[in-house]
Structure 1
Amino acid sequence: MSKVLVLNASYEPLNITNWRRAVILLLKGKAEQVEHNGKCLYPELMLPTVIRLRHYVQVPYKEIPLTRRNILHRDNHSCQYCSYTGDELTLDHVIPRSRKGGDSWENIVTACVRCNVKKGNRTPKEANMVLRNQPRQPYSSLHFEVAKHIKNGSYQEWRKYAIGL
């Protein structure tokens, strides 16, 4: 039915859960409601869209793997040079491998075949091409999920709790 963003006691996003689990956390007193969508479950209980845990939960840092799928997702499945969105997308090294450009979040972007061939073995500046977005490592896998829901147009109230959106 509806998703609920779970925040740590420090207001950082922890998880996305379903509305039933969120209501259980609220009723047990383990969380408090931060945002709701205006729909009532009971006269005194609104359907939550964002809840915050009352006690801080220590979360271990988990690095997101550098994969083609994750890079395409980070770049919103569009060419970072011309905004093309289609099936013919490749990965491009901003600083070419032949010039000691390695495989890192900050050096790989999504590019269409046309732009990738046009850029060739040059830097974007040398090829007179401008990157739409500076490549960077994503904050977390949860950030990916939250961004997807916000970009779909749903859950706009989550925007203020997500870094960089």
Structure 2
Amino acid sequence: MGLSANACPALVLNADYRPLSYFPLSLWSWQDSIKAVFLDRVDILSEYDAVVHSPRLEMRLPSVISLRCYVPVNRRPAFTRFNVFLRDRFRCQYCGRRFATEELTFDHVIPRARGGTTSWQNVVTACTACNTAKGARTPAQCGMTLRSVPKPPDLTELQEAGRHFPPGNLHSSWRDYLHYAGMGRVRSDEAAESGALAVHTTLRAIQSEAQGRAFPSDMTEGEYWGVQLQNDDD
């Protein structure tokens, strides 16, 4: 049937029927889902109309699967640049405006030159203009006010923030298992119904509420999710 690697992905739920992740949405390729089915690691909850064939078998592609064994979720999110943006919902914590990520940076509230640490309690999202205006000063020194006190988020808080930034295309069979804000925007087009919907599984496919794009073209998923915050200049 000529499916690409990203076509007909399966939504992966934990054994409690909740998505493993909202942001990015927990998706497996159709190849990985079928392998997990044959290894008896998952149950199929919903299927695409599309099928794959072997000499002795015809199988519809899974669209929603659940793990048979519950996977404990790390309640302490990694301290990464992207998770700081997500905690602050892509808003500059000084001017309060929402920006695409290529227009955002992180700011040390107490500058490192004054003993400030690179930690959840001292790092906030800032737009380039506010970060430049603040420079190596404290907010009080330059007459700027933080919109909220920075603190370590738990996984529930990040998942709740992620619910406000749904992917651009969600298959109709996923509707009962997802609880995004604004679920009325979920659509099922002709391609999706035929099982040929190609859902982008990288972060660039996820759209913010205010911006048509949320991720810079030169930033990879690994850089956002796997790299700890570095001591960049304020």
Question: Which TM-score tier does this pair reach, normalised by the shorter chain?
Answer: 0.5 to 0.7
- Moved runs in structure 1, 4+ residues, more than 4 A? 59-65, 72-78, 97-101, 117-120, 133-136
Contact 1:90 1:112 in 2 (8 A): yes
**Distance in 2 between residues matched to 1:86 and 1:69, nearest whole Å:** 9
1:19-75 per-residue CA deviation (whole Å, 9 max, x = no partner) reads 122123335543212344x43327x96532321122335x58496543445535665
Instruction: Select which of 31, 53, 62 maps to 1:20.
Output: 31
Which residue does 1:139 correspond to in 2?
Answer: 155
Query: Aligned partners of 1:106, 1:77: CA distance in 2, in Å?
Result: 17
SS at match of 1:55: coil
Q: CA deviation at 1:79?
A: 3.2
Letter paired with 1:122? P
Q: Contact 1:78 / 1:86 at 8 angstroms: preserved in 2?
A: no
Q: CA deviation at 1:111?
A: 0.8
Q: Residue 151 of structure 1: SS of its match in structure 2?
A: coil
Instruction: Look up the match of 1:49.
Output: 63
Higher strand share: 1
Q: Unaligned stretches of 5+ in structure 1?
A: none
- Does 2:49 align with 1:39? yes
User: More displaced, 61-70 or 16-25?
Assistant: 61-70
Distance in 1 (alpha carbons) for counterparts of 2:39 and 2:101: 47
1:4 paired residue number = 10
Supply the AA of the counterpart residue of 2:42. A
Partner of 1:151: 166
More RCO (CA 8 Å, sep 6+): 2
Aligned residues: 148
RMSD over aligned CA atoms reads 4.4
Partner of 1:160: 179
Distance (whole Å) between structure 2 residues aligned to residue 3 and residue 76 of structure 1: 27
Instruction: State the SS of the aligned residue for 1:33.
Output: strand
Structure 2 match to 1:93: 108
- For 1:64-79, list aligned pairs within 5 A: 64-68=77-81, 70-72=83-85, 79=92
- Distance (whole Å) between structure 1 residues aligned to residue 152 and residue 169 of structure 2: 25
Runs (5+) with no aligned partner, structure 2: 1-6, 53-57, 181-234
Separation in 2, partners of 1:60, 1:84:
29
One-letter identity of the residue aligned with 2:166: K
Percent of aligned pairs with the same amino acid: 29
1:91 Cα deviation from its structure 2 partner: 1.3
Residues 1:112 and 2:127 are matched in the alignment: yes
TM, length-normalised to structure 1: 0.57
